[in-house]
Chain A
């Protein structure tokens, strides 16, 4: 199937690290993406990882990819209230002309 799964909610304290998880279905996906959606806004591309990489770091963001388990995670260090949003992972299965988006994880950061 083409289901990309994420947990629906995550609540963290300001200053802690957040880890958002994603399980995708197609091990041949070339690129995997993380998008952020703030209230009333569109999806904003945060970062992506190529399938031949295990990890990618970009300032406070760390993406980990486990191809064997088809598991993708996004770690946000020193989480701030401005990080509160819905986070979507997306995969691009081989031989398809589309991105398959997950259900989204709502991250709530409390003081």
Chain B
């Protein structure tokens, strides 16, 4: 079975540009999570969805970040406008049983904002 799929794997953009990260969860998993990983702050949960509905977005840094899940097999994380401090690796993860149970991570998108 395919795991969590993310695209692109690498993104380099200039400050002020819009960035869209994409994720396809494991089929049948009703929970989808977006994380950000940096050296300074480690792994941070940004938002998670259950059955395509955002449940907890308290980790979203600011209004420049938005996430959507239009259907069970696709989610996007958008940053507009992007800033250099947004440079990080962004992971998508999915779970069958819930946010407190095992989560399966995608390979990540390495974002560099210059």
Contacts and interface: CB of A to CB of B under 8 A. Distances in A.
Interface string A31-71: 10101000011111100100000000000000000000000
- A: contact size bracket: 20 to 34
18 contacts: A31-B100, A41-B108, A42-B91, A42-B93, A42-B106, A42-B108, A43-B43, A43-B93, A92-B101, A97-B55, A97-B98, A98-B45, A98-B48, A98-B99, A99-B100, A99-B103, A101-B43, A103-B42
A88 to B, nearest CB: 7
B62 to A, nearest CB: 20
Interface of B: 4, 42-43, 45, 48, 55-56, 91, 93, 98-108
Nearest to A93: B100
A33 B102 contact: yes
The DSSP consensus for interface residues of chain A is: loop
